[in-house]
Amino acid sequence: MSDESIAIVGGTGDLGYGLALRWALAGFNVVIGSRVASRAEEAAQKIRDNIGPTAKVQGFVNEEAILQSWIVVIAVPFSAQAATLLSIREKLRTGQTVVDCTVPLEATVGGAATRILGLWAGSAAEQAKRLLPDTVHVAAAFQNVSAHALQESNQPVDCDVFVCADSAEVRAWLRPWVEAIPNCRYVDGGKLENSRIVESLTAFLIGVNRRYKVLGSGIRITGIGPAK
């Protein structure tokens, strides 16, 4: 496993595919995971067709994808989060970092996309930590980044990315992955419990998108310096 590689479980979905595309454009080794290997490879081929033969992207079934990188991104709908994590937990290696992008939108149970479900764990990321072994690090990030904006690969992404984790070292380790996406800015989000706030911002942004009839509104924090 290389520090220059990243695995994306749910990489065939809108957010996962957008992240895979951006990181492949930045020259990283990207591994797309899916429940069905053929779907993962189709998404990888689509990125290779978009970028060219130099793109370093492959597709595997989820359980194999997570073996390729020290960083594993979970980009699945909230309704699939628990089952997905339980399906891979036994194959995760000591020291890996799992980055949860899940947002518990009410829409996953038939409600409104502009509302958040209340969770006993506090947030989807904290729920992920409960479901995963103590031998891996758990972080939360990329919940507020528009999947549409990520897939518009010729345009910068106008959004800050809040990275939450109980370890400051883990948060800092994810900084290069945020800054590899043009105009995204890394913001240290503090402990994992702060993901409760960050996740709720996604529902707020969905409402903004609807009211202003746009597809990619984002969040910016003022006073901490410009995006790179």
pLDDT of residue 30: 98
Side-chain half-sphere CA neighbours of 31 within 13 A: 24
Q: How many CB atoms lie within 10 A of CB 126?
A: 22
**Nearest Cα to Cα of residue 8 among 106, 88, 105:** 88
* Separation CA 90–CA 132 (nearest Å): 9
pLDDT of residue 112: 86
pLDDT at position 1? 53
Q: Which fold has domain 5-212?
A: Rossmann fold (3.40.50)
Residue 109 is predicted with a pLDDT of 80
pLDDT along the chain (228 residues), means of 10: 85 97 97 97 96 94 96 96 97 97 90 90 97 98 97 93 98 97 96 98 96 94 80
Phi then psi for residue 117, to 5 deg, are -75, 145
Within 10 Å of residue 66's Cβ, how many Cβ atoms?
26
Helix (H) or strand (E) holding 29: strand 29-34
For residues 113 and 103, give the distance between their C-alpha atoms in angstroms, rounded to a whole number: 10
Among 132, 113, 133, CA closest to 199? 113
Amino acid, single-letter form, for residue 222: T
The pTM score is 0.95
Which residues, at least 6 apart from 66, have a Cβ–Cβ distance to it below 8 Å? 7, 9, 33, 72, 88, 91, 92, 96
